[in-house]
Amino acid sequence: MLRAAQTAEAIERAFRAAGHEIERRADPAFLEIGQGEWEGLHRTEIDARYASELSAWRRQPLDGWAPGGESLPEVQARVRPGLAVLLARLAEGRAPGSPDRPQVAGYRDPVPDHPWSIVVGHDGVFKVVLLTLFDLPLDRFWMWSMDLCGVSVIELRAGRPVLRAHNLTAHLAGLLDEEARADLEERSRSGAL
């Protein structure tokens, strides 16, 4: 989707300006959840035209979703192989970690040289990514809060995901004007998609 592509391009420009070469590539595994008949509609239109479907989606995301859209199991079926490829790339040529070493950040000697990746996408697919990484059931979909341009950091220690930070938004403080703040607060209160 356009916003995610624009964000990825801005990240790439910032890294290149700082003298770092990075590879930017689109990955269909991390596309946003297909919202079928809801695509392109404002949340008020969805509320008005699809109230019962929206209610089912918000209450039981495994039993209800946008008409013509993707179910969470369908999304997870495309996310899993994408995650496997990403994690394999990060592990390539590196000795596996050990759960027998200290697992608390700061107790390492020496400081490891970790590979990293930045994945840019929309909140729905990231919720599925997090549930998949942490081996949580898909019906926990709504447990994750995701703000626009929020940043989450996941570290892998001995092959296990560790949530280092989630939904960080302080980097946006200087960018939000009063209207944007009010819209963000309304979106948070409304539970909008």
pLDDT, tens digit (0-9, with 9 covering 90-100), for 99-149: 777 767 666 656 666 778 888 888 999 999 999 999 999 999 999 988 888
- State how far the alpha carbon of 104 is from the alpha carbons of 97, 98, 99, 167, in Å: 13, 13, 11, 21
Report residue 191's pLDDT band, with 50, 70 and 90 as the boundaries: low
Residue 23 contacts by C-beta under 8 Å, 6 or more apart in sequence?
none
Model pLDDT, residue 82:
95
| Burial class of residue 137 in the structure, from the number of CB atoms within 10 Å of its CB (0-12 exposed, 13-18 middle, 19+ buried) | exposed
- Report the alpha-carbon distance of residue 60 to residue 139 in Å, rounded: 7
What amino acid occupies position 174?
G
pLDDT mean over 65-72 = 96
At residue 152, the pLDDT reads 92
Q: What is the distance between the alpha carbons of residues 119 and 27, in angstroms, rounded to a whole number?
A: 9
What pLDDT shows up at residue 39? 93
Whether residue 178 has pLDDT greater than 80: no
Helix (H, G, I), strand (E, B) or coil at 72: helix
Instruction: Tell me how far apart the alpha carbons of residues 38 and 118 are, in angstroms, rounded to a whole number.
Output: 28
Query: In the beta sheet, which residues pair with residue 168?
Result: 151
pLDDT tens digits along 24-42: 888 999 999 999 999 989 9
pTM of the predicted model, to two decimals? 0.82
Q: DSSP label at 157?
A: E
Structural domain boundaries of the chain?
2-33+70-190
- Name which CATH class applies to 2-33+70-190: alpha beta
- pLDDT tens digit sequence for 162-175: 899 999 988 887 77
